[in-house]
Amino acid sequence: MDVLSTMGTDDLRTAVWIVAVAATVAVAALQLLAPTARRSGKDWRPAGLAALQSLRAGAGAYAAASLAAAFYILGHASDVRWSAGRDAPFDVPELAPSLPLFDGIVNALNGFASTVESGVNDALAIKNAFIVSGDFMVMALWGTVAMVCIAIAAFLLGRHVEAQRVRQLDELAVRQRHLEAEVGRLRDRLELLSLNSPAANQPPTS
């Protein structure tokens, strides 16, 4: 958390993207290193399906990191970091007594003004924290939408590939039955030829 305490709004956005890219690359690397991926020609899944799965992981990480950043900002709502570039700090000029007789009154007024200044700045910081956290929640929403869309696309692609695989297996089964029928016909012809051959018609010699 010490690292987060030094990060502003732009830094948090950059960190969210870094987490998303790292998740995408990690899942892609795991798929490349998986045993099924190393079996060249034996894995029927296309590269597009693996790419969609990696992107889905990246979108999920993007949504999760954005939501975590939003909750972090809300947990530190009074931090002035969220007001950077939005509202200038409220500053009340300090009064200086002209006569020592009025020191007590002036000090009391300065103390009251300082309390008001602190309260106004805290209110501005909390307002800006809600605005900034709302931006990150919108980012999380878009990440979730992207993850769901990619998941649907991966599901449809997987169904399509599975249907192709089943169709190929059916075609292979049809070809196998056709070849078995051809082999059976050839065997019958060979048996018929062997029965009609002159050697088969000659009487046995004693």
Encode pLDDT of 128-149 as tens digits.
Answer: 888 889 999 999 999 999 999 9
The percent of residues in the chain predicted with pLDDT above 90, rounded, is 24
Identify the pLDDT of residue 39.
46
pLDDT for the residue 53 = 87
Helix (H) or strand (E) holding 187: helix 103-196
Question: Amino acid letter at 62?
Answer: Y
- 96: nearest Cα among 86, 109, 87, 84: 109
CB atoms under 10 Å from CB of 57, counted, come to 21
* Contact yes or no for 16/62 (Cβ under 8 A): yes
What pLDDT, on a 0 to 100 scale, did the predictor assign at position 96? Answer: 62
Q: Which of 36, 28, 75 is nearest to 53 (CA)?
A: 28
pTM listed for this prediction: 0.66
CA of residue 66 relative to chain centroid, distance: 12
pLDDT of residue 13: 92
Q: What is the pLDDT of residue 65?
A: 94
- Token pair of 120, please? 């106004």
Mean pLDDT for back-to-back runs of 10 residues, the chain (206 residues): 76 93 91 60 62 90 94 85 65 59 63 69 79 92 94 85 80 84 80 66 55
The pLDDT assigned to 125 comes to: 76
So what's the pLDDT on residue 106?
Answer: 63
**Residue 82 confidence (pLDDT):** 78
Output the pLDDT for position 102.
Answer: 56
